[in-house]
Structure 1
Amino acid sequence: MQAMQTQLAVGTYALLAWFGLYLLIAEALRMWTRTSNLSPAHRTHITESFVSGVQGAACGVVGVMTVMACWHDVMRVRYPLAVYYSSIGTAYFIYDLWAMFRSHSARTECSSVGALLLSYLKTDLLMIVHHITIVSVLFPAMVYHSPMGHFFMGCFLCTELSTPFVNARVILSRLGLKNSTIYVVNGILMMLVFAMCRVAMFPVMYAVYLSQQTRAPSHIHALAAIPITCHLSCLLVLAPQLYWFNMMIKGAVAVLKRTPPQMTKDY
């Protein structure tokens, strides 16, 4: 009971912190000369992306620490920091549903709130499902209902390591640096980190688990011992990653097709 109360307190403070950071960045962008002339939609998008990048960096660091602490025994070792960050992460994804809606409303003209909500659902359905899945399935299954260690939780947290690069891409674009060298370099790093942390992470995670299940008659038996909720969580999280990675590849191909004169060296 005490642990649950602590988790709720951490989540509540984290939720307030995410909203506070959003408002702070929004005000800073309003006052910054370079962004003061941008449209409200662009400033809102930059603000959302900045907060998302902060969350991604923090989550990724916690993930790496958790994986390193639990690597030697993926089934038993538990890492308290991962549990606390589950509340912080849950708070972020709840906040981000609001932030995405705010960004959508800033760039969309609708006759009513109902029409705006419907437009939001149609436009960002994949991201909305992704967020709700993490809040309602992934974190509860991994932290509270799984008998396994926190190695797997750490792996999922590591998927956020690519988020700062994804959001830097958005921010650079909104600042008019889409044709700059730094934009291209960031894009390459984004694809590499995304491929490692959001796609390759899943087979690596299963491979490490199977390598330690020496008592199981076969790999099939070892996989069957994993709660079905964990398999479903992996599938639900991996599916959009494959879709987004495909979009990144298409975007990279389009950038590489540009002629050299189009590229500048703005930093």
Structure 2
Amino acid sequence: MAALFCGAALFPGLFFSFRRILRNTWTDWSDADVTAVSERLLSAVHASLATAAGVTVVSSCRDVMTDSHWLVNSFVLFGAPYMLFDIYAMYLNHRHTQEGSQTPSRRSLHAFRAFLLRDWMLVLHHLVLVFIFLPITLFFRRGLGDFFIGCLFLTELSTPFISVGKILIQLHLDDTKLYRINGLVALLTFFTCRILLFPFMYWMYGRHASVPLHRVAFHLPLHCNLGNLLLLAPQVYWFGLLLRKAQRLYRRTRKSD
């Protein structure tokens, strides 16, 4: 439980510290600007820690089913407060962005409803990780599959690059070479660690069980396949959004040239 309390103290503390530092550094920024960058910095910190945990676990497990690592359960507990707090941080960012001439109570209610309508998939993804993925990891795996949990940690590898891209936009650096390179790295890491990762995990299990890759899905219990599909589906959707954004940037760059 110490990991849970550490996460509950660290992530809100970092967020509010980022806000204070940014507000004092960029005095011309609005609350929306400060909150947006703080939320992205917090996301990058969590993602970097998750990636480091994933690399440690995956590189330590030789047997993909039976080898265990203490970091798996500890990091799941440590990261759970981030998932819940990040929902609040995203809402706060949305509320500051949408503030208008309404009364505060009506404005907050409207912003919350608009936030859920706009980011329902991301909110649902966070809630699924906390209320479904966490109990399964801690209580229902019977100590098996730490390797695959480590692989799921690695899905966060692309997040720091996505966060850096949004911060560069905030700094009006979205016409720079750095922004384009960062965007390309974000696309490659997202595709590798959030899309290709799933067939890789099936292939690794197939090697363990001596099952051909095309037969692995039929060899696994239905709930395992459904769980992987539930995690993969939003990644495919978000990757499509990234591709459309990259296409618009490419067209804009060609016109400027």
2:9 aligned partner: 16
1:67 equivalenced with 2:58 (yes/no): yes
Q: How many residues align?
A: 251
- Aligned residue identity for 1:115: H
- What displacement does 1:223 show? 4.2
Note the C-alpha offset of 1:218. 9.8
1:179 offset after TM fit, Å?
0.5
Residue 107 (1) aligns with residue 97 (2): yes
State the distance in 2 between where 1:217 and 1:168 align.
40
Equivalence map 1:1-267=2 (5 Å): 7=1, 9-32=2-25, 35-70=26-61, 72-109=62-99, 111-147=106-142, 148-214=144-210, 220=215, 223=217, 226-259=220-253, 262=256
Q: Output one character per residue of 1:37-89: Cα deviation in whole Å (capped at 9) or x when no partner.
A: 1221121110000000000011011001111111x211101110111000111
- The offset of 1:231, in angstroms, is 2.5
Quick check: 2:11–2:42 contact (8 Å CA) kept in 1? yes
If the length of structure 1 is used for normalisation, what is the TM-score?
Answer: 0.87
Deviation, 1:238, is 0.9
Q: Which moved more, 1:251-260 or 1:149-158?
A: 251-260
3-state SS in 1 of match to 2:252? coil
Please say which of residues 57-66 and 248-257 is displaced more in the overlay: 248-257
* CA positional deviation for 1:251: 1.2
CA distance in 2, matches of 1:58, 1:52: 10
Taking structure 2 as the reference length, what is the TM-score of the superposition?
Answer: 0.91
| Percent of aligned positions that are identical | 31
* 1:113, distance to aligned residue in structure 2 (A): 3.6
**What is the aligned partner in structure 2 of residue 3 from structure 1?**
none
DSSP 3-state at the match of 1:85: helix
Q: Which runs of 5+ in 2 are unaligned?
A: none
Q: Cα RMSD between the aligned structures?
A: 2.1
Code of the aligned partner of 1:123: R
Displacement of 1:107? 1.1
Contact preservation (8 Å) 2:161, 2:183 = yes
Q: Distance in 2 between matches of 1:259 and 1:134?
A: 38
Q: Tell whether the 8 Å contact from 1:90 to 1:135 is kept in structure 2 after alignment.
A: yes
Shift, 1:114, TM fit: 3.2
Aligned 8 A contact 1:179 1:262 in 2: no
The 1-side partners of 2:212 and 2:200 are apart by: 21
Question: How far has the Cα of 1:31 moved from its partner?
Answer: 1.0
Q: Is the CA contact (8 Å cut-off) linking 2:18 and 2:38 kept in structure 1?
A: yes
